[in-house]
Every structure is written in structure tokens, then in C-alpha cells.
Amino acid sequence: MSNLFVSEKLVLPNGKIIKNRFFKSAMSETMAKRDNSPNIMHVNLYSQWAKGGAGIVLTGNVMVDRTALGEPGNVVVEDERDMDMLKQWAKAGTANNTHLWMQINHPGKQSPKSISKHPVAPSAIPVGGSYGSAFYPPRTLTTEEVKGLIQRFVNTARIAKKAGFTGVQIHGAHGYLVNQFLSPAENHRTDQYGGTLENRMRFLVDIYQGMRKALSNNFPIGLKLNSSDFKEGGFSEEDSIEVVKKMAEIGIDLIEISGGSYENPKMSSGTGKGSDDVFFLEYAQKLKSLVDVPIVVTGGFRSLEIMEEALKNERTSMIGIARPLAMVPDIPNRIFQGRYETVKTQRLTTGFKTLDKKFGTAIGNSYYEQQMKRLAKGKQSKRTTNAWSPLLHTVMLHGPHVFMPRRSK
């Protein structure tokens, strides 16, 4: 094993040992069929990531309610009907001493028209921005429903543990439901789940406390959190710091930092050309001086030099990577073996500026989804900058609602 910073072990506060500093971030695989069950494609894909050498591998977001999806093809875990396949998935993804954590999510109002006619949210505030027309306006959740959703998150986590996943991550970023509760712009509730920051945090804190009770003290529970929503009057960096401090105090095991939402997709802007271009590094460094919990930055890590610099300067505890690992699933091993060539994420184009501008997000996501499907079928990823194949691929697979905006990476 090399003497690189990326190859060092990480000990979580609960004593669990992570074999190295590579953290494969969540990428929604969109591989489930109509019944939203995991299948052999998930098993094959995660087997490759486990063999590829990362210390922690996150699943794509798994939904807690089949009536509320973020996109077609999401896996839903709301009961034990898929236990056999979940066990196979967990077994494949934990091979090679890999930690496999299930990311658990509810989209709230970010569930597109093609999927949800009646989305729910902390308050009945429609999604804004240029993508707003893709979503029906949400209705306000009752307090009883909020409590029911908390139980759903806890139940999904319980099933994940039972199936053999070695950790879970609460998706509190990118404008989804937990993030909606945290944001003063999205949450105008007057019950115990709205108003002060303490109240806006309650949904997240109750989910975490419920999971902790159900999963025991030494089962890793992580959180993906926005550094900010980058929206006037939204979840700010000051709010984010308070949430991090609270979650650290009550025992969260790891916090991954990202940012943005459908309205302002900051999470995928980093190109990795320099450390200034790896998003959220500065913010993460600030957090690291405030709390002892491992902080993981995701977004833009590409070159080994920048990864090493970030770890050496203690700006992040692990290196969060998503898109490059859909192209080359064994980046960690290649780095340890000294045969890594920087994997760049290129911009795809249809050749028409207006089309690129309008469908850029759908094209980008579809491209990486295609790559994950290739890997799941035992093929190699296929590099191209031609956007037509990913565009057609999604239309064929999911129908014309591909032209609805999707998550912003």
C-alpha cells in the first residue's frame, strides 16, 4: 500500500475503521423497474465499486415512500418485501472490507409532475426558478404526517441494517425534504417543526434520534448537508454551521458537505482544476475547526494532487467522488497502484446551444446513468461528448418526461 494521505485509515468517532479516504458519493442509479425494487444490476454495479477500493460506498438515494419519488427508477424501501435482493446488494457492496451505506431520502416537493400529482412539503410553497413549472405546487404536511415520515426514515434505516448495509446516510441536501424543513424560505410552519432554527432542525434531529435508537450506538449514521442553498432568505452558511454543531453534539458519525438545489444547482459546478475549484472546501475547513466529526467534501475532486493537498491541509476528512467513479469504478485502486490518469468530466453537447442550455442537466445525468448501466452489465464505460445518445437513451427508457428537469447532479 502506498504512503499517500488517501490511503490512510479513518477511525470514526464510534470506533469503526474505514480502510482509506475514498468516499464514493451517492448517484441515483435509476435502475429499478416499475416496482422500485433493487435487482441484479445493483448487485453487479456495487460489486465493481467494492472491488474498486473505496473505503465507503454510498448507494444512490433510496426513497422511503413509493408515492414520492425523485425520479423514475428509484429504489424504494418501505417494508421487507425485497429483503433477499437487499441482502445480495449489501453482500456485493461490502466485499473487500468496504463500507456500504444506504442514502435515505424523500423528495418532498421536488417530485416532478410526471411522477407526483400531489407532492408534499413543509409548507405549500412551489418550487421556484426556471425549473419550477416541472413540479405541481405542494400541499402542506400535517404534523401527524411529519411524524409518520420520520418513522418511515427510521424504518428504512432499520431494514438497511437488517439486510447487511454497514451504515446509512440521511439526505439533507440538494433541496429535498429534509433540506426543505431546514430552510426558512421553504418552511413557514407554525408547529414544532417550523419557525426557529431549532424547530426547523427538529425533523432532521427526530429522524436521527429515531434511527440511533433503532440501530444502536455503533452503527454509522451520516448526513449529507448543504453548506448553503445559495438562495436569498434560504438555508444559510450560518444555519448550516449550527446544524453541524447540533448533529455533532448528538452523535452523528460523519457529515458530507454539498450545496444547492433544483433552483440553484451548485453541487456539480466544480471541475477539479485547482483546489479553489473543488466546491465547499473552504467551508469544510471551517467546520473541521469547530467539530470533531469527520467532514467529507464532494464535488470536483479529479486529480490526485488536489486530493492529497486537501487531506494534507486537513480541509476534508475523506475525498467525496461521484461522476468519475461512474466512468472508472476502480479509481482508488488505480491510485494506490500508481496507474491513475486523471478522470475528467467533460461537457456534453448536442451541437445546438439552445438545446444544450435547456436539457443540459437531463443530458448530464442520463450520460452518467448510462455509464452505471454499462458497468452493471459488465461493460466498460464509454467516453463521448456527443449528447444525442444519452438524450435518446433516457427518452427510450423513461418516456418524454425526460425533458422535465431532473436532479442537478
Ligand X SMILES: Cc1cc2nc3c(=O)[nH]c(=O)nc-3n(C[C@H](O)[C@H](O)[C@H](O)COP(=O)(O)O)c2cc1C
If the CB atoms of residues 255 and 321 are measured against ligand X, the closer one turns out to be 321
If the CB atoms of residues 99 and 224 are measured against ligand X, the closer one turns out to be 224
310, 22 Cβ separation under 8 angstroms:
no
Q: Is 42 in the site for ligand X (CB under 6 A)?
A: no
Among 26, 76, 168, 362, the residue binding ligand X under the rule CB under 6 A is: 26
- Scanning 118-126, 210-218, 315-323, 375-383 for contacts with ligand X by CB under 6 A, the matching segment is 315-323
Q: Is 194 in the site for ligand X (CB under 6 A)?
A: no
| 206 three-class SS | helix
Q: Is 160 in the site for ligand X (CB under 6 A)?
A: no
In the block, which residue shows the cell 423514475?
72
The values of phi and psi at residue 17, to 5°, are -105, 130
Q: How far is CA 300 from the centre of its chain?
A: 14
Q: Is 25 in the site for ligand X (CB under 6 A)?
A: yes
Distances 113 to 69, 72, 109, 262 between C-alpha atoms, Å: 11, 11, 10, 14
Burial class (CB in 10 A: 0-12, 13-18, 19+), 79: exposed
Q: Is 300 in the site for ligand X (CB under 6 A)?
A: yes
Among 152, 161, 189, 323, the residue binding ligand X under the rule CB under 6 A is: 323
- Scanning 77-85, 118-126, 297-305, 354-362 for contacts with ligand X by CB under 6 A, the matching segment is 297-305
- Scanning 32-40, 90-98, 171-179, 393-401 for contacts with ligand X by CB under 6 A, the matching segment is 171-179
Q: Is 166 in the site for ligand X (CB under 6 A)?
A: no
Residue 218 is which amino acid? N
64, 149 Cβ separation under 8 angstroms:
yes
Ordered DSSP codes for 214-275: HH-TTS-EEEEEES---STTSS-HHHHHHHHHHHHHTT--EEEEE---SSS--TT----SSG
Among residue numbers 256 through 275, which ones bind ligand X (CB under 6 A)? 258, 267-268, 270
Q: In the bound complex, what is the minimum distance in angstroms from residue 277's beta carbon to ligand X? A: 10
Residue 123 is which amino acid? S
Among 38, 55, 60, 220, the residue binding ligand X under the rule CB under 6 A is: 60
If the CB atoms of residues 53 and 194 are measured against ligand X, the closer one turns out to be 53
220, 167 Cβ separation under 8 angstroms:
yes
Site residues (vs ligand X, CB under 6 A):
25-28, 60-61, 103, 171, 173-174, 224, 258, 267-268, 270, 298-301, 321-323, 365, 368-369, 407, 409
